[in-house]
Amino acid sequence: MHIHLQNPAGETLFTFDRAMWDAAVARAGGNPDEHRVTIGTTPEDFEAAMPTMEAVITDTGTIRGMFGRPAPALKLVFITSAGLDRLAPWDWLPPGAVLMNNRGTHAGKIGEFGLMALLMLANRIPRMVTNQRAGVWREIWGNVLTGRPVTIVGLGTLGSAVAGHAARFGMTVTGIRANPAPHPDCVRVLGIEALDSVLPATEFLVLAAPLTDATRNLMDRRRLNLLPTHACVLNIGRGGLIDQDAICDMLDAGRLSGAVLDVFTPEPIPEGHRLWTTRNLIISPHTSADDPNTYNPRSLDIFLENLSAWQNGRPLPNRFDTARGY
């Protein structure tokens, strides 16, 4: 099988190389000579692989270089992101090819980021940083996490990883997801239609859902105003899940305790945008889920698990459902 790995042009931190591939094959107990593996960086490299590649591994930005070009042998498309909303509509996908996302890669890193953010909000770091920026010493007291209510919207890899840490620190975790099946780290899991009813008793709101037609602008101004005034917000899903102007207004007015946001509309945040000066807000530049030390090796492990499933006629764990959007 011809497997092509296309690195993003100009990227230096998150790149695949042959040694990384060989190490992943060795971890999976495979034969390093089983497949023909090519690794590209330039658009010409990508184009040279297209006629024969049967599997491609690349990122959301780079896959666009394939749009409208023939890749007649292509059967497996593995994208190294979890959220593929930026690739819709899906008409670029060759007929019969299976699309996979990178669900699962982010668990370790995003779990630690999520726990960090919950602790930062509990310790009121956003407010401390706002005072620091103003050059003002003011005592701000935080509290421990145990017993405090957190609502996590989305229980995929990201939301589950955060739920696990939150539960281990004694928080009372409510999960919200499309299919409200029980979750081991949640005291209850409710459908998205129940969100309005849980917001008034939510102290920590974590947004970890994919961006779909069902979740776009989910936290609009009305819903944000259902939160109590001491509530705080963490968004590690997509900027489009929230009415960004509404949360900026509320943070500036002291209507919320604080926020940690990793995702925005648009990205990058433009120079001079009001987000840069919003009070009681910590801005992380959409890097919460990715650890350069572990990201690509873990991605290859996940790809090889899916390849093995495909070769053995089993369902692919990372198959992306274009109809539902995750």
Coil, strand, or helix at residue 28? coil
Our finding on whether 265 is near a copy of itself (CB under 8 A) is no
Min CB(181)–a copy of itself separation in Å: 28
11 vs 47, which CB is nearer to a copy of itself?
Answer: 11
Q: Which residues in 48-87 contact a copy of itself (CB under 8 A)?
A: none
- Segment interacting with a copy of itself, rule: CB under 8 A, options 97-105, 130-138, 185-193, 198-206: 130-138
255 vs 273, which CB is nearer to a copy of itself?
Answer: 273
CA pair distance 305, 288, nearest whole angstrom: 25
C-beta of residue 98 within 8 angstroms of C-beta of residue 310 = yes
C-beta of residue 115 within 8 angstroms of C-beta of residue 169 = yes
Report how far Cα 85 is from the mean position of its chain's Cα atoms: 11
Our finding on whether 90 is near a copy of itself (CB under 8 A) is no
Report CA-CA distances (Å) from 14 to 44, 84, 287, 292, 297. Answer: 20, 18, 12, 6, 10
Residue 201's closest CA among 246, 254, 147? 147
4 vs 298, which CB is nearer to a copy of itself?
Answer: 298
Min CB(11)–a copy of itself separation in Å: 11
Our finding on whether 283 is near a copy of itself (CB under 8 A) is yes
Our finding on whether 285 is near a copy of itself (CB under 8 A) is yes
Our finding on whether 129 is near a copy of itself (CB under 8 A) is yes
Q: Which residues in 139-168 contact a copy of itself (CB under 8 A)?
A: 139-146
Q: Which residues contact 321 (CB under 8 A, 6 or more apart)?
A: none
Residue 42's closest CA among 1, 87, 82, 7? 7
CA pair distance 103, 6, nearest whole angstrom: 19
**Among 276, 311, 317, 324, which residue sits at the site for a copy of itself (rule: CB under 8 A)?**
276
Q: Which residues contact 23 (CB under 8 A, 6 or more apart)?
A: 297
**Among 109, 177, 183, 238, which residue sits at the site for a copy of itself (rule: CB under 8 A)?**
109
Coil, strand, or helix at residue 254? coil
Min CB(89)–a copy of itself separation in Å: 28
Our finding on whether 131 is near a copy of itself (CB under 8 A) is yes
**Among 160, 174, 235, 288, which residue sits at the site for a copy of itself (rule: CB under 8 A)?**
288
**Sites of contact with a copy of itself (CB under 8 A):** 13, 108-109, 112-113, 115-116, 119-120, 122-123, 125, 128-129, 131-133, 135-146, 169, 267-269, 271-273, 276-277, 282-288, 290-294
